[in-house]
Structure 1
C-alpha cells in the first residue's frame, strides 16, 4: 500500500552531520482509518390498523322464521343457530320467559336479531 491515510505524529529537524548546510528531518507518521458511518435501514412506519370487527347485521324476523332457518340463510349451516341465540339471548328471554327452558324456540315477527359474523 502506498496511499495511506496518516497524520504527522512527530516532526524534528537538525543540522546535518555529513556536510556543512545539510539538514536532517525526522518525521513520524501515524496511520489512521476514516470512520465511515454505518448505514441503518429504517423500516417505513406504517400505521397498523386493528382488525375491526364487522358490525353485526340486523335481521327482522318474519312470520314462520326459526333460528335454524335464519342461521342456514346467513351462515350456510343451520347448526350454527346458537351464534344468533348467544348474541340475542337477553333480549329473547325478556321477550318470552319460555326461552329459558327452550332456548331459541320463541321468536316473534318484527323482532330485530343481531347476526354476528
Structure 2
C-alpha cells in the first residue's frame, strides 16, 4: 500500500462516523462501485415482451448473463415479472427468458433474468 493510501486510511479512521458517511456518499457519487455481478455488453436489438396484462416490442440496449437493460416508455414497476423474446444477432432464432424488473429509469428498465422460459 502506498503512503498516500495509508495516510488517507489513518485520517478516515479518526473521523466521526457521520463525517465518514458523508465522505462515503460524496466519493460514491464520483467513483461508484460496480453492483453488477456480470459485465454488460452493448447489444442493441428489438425484443418482444409480455408482462401481466401488457405486451410490446422495445429496444434492448445491453445484455449480460444476468439480465438486460430495455429502453421502454411502458410504466413497468420494480418486482414485476416479465418474459422477453430476444432474437439472435443474425435473426435466425430467438430465445425466451423470464425475468423481473429490478430497476426503473426515465429511459427504461433493468431486468434480471430468473430463468429460461
Which structure has more relative contact order (CA 8 Å, sep 6+)? It is 1
Q: TM-score normalised to the size of structure 2?
A: 0.21
Q: Given the two structures, how large is their TM-score scaled by the length of structure 1?
A: 0.21
Q: Higher strand fraction: Structure 1 or Structure 2? A: 2
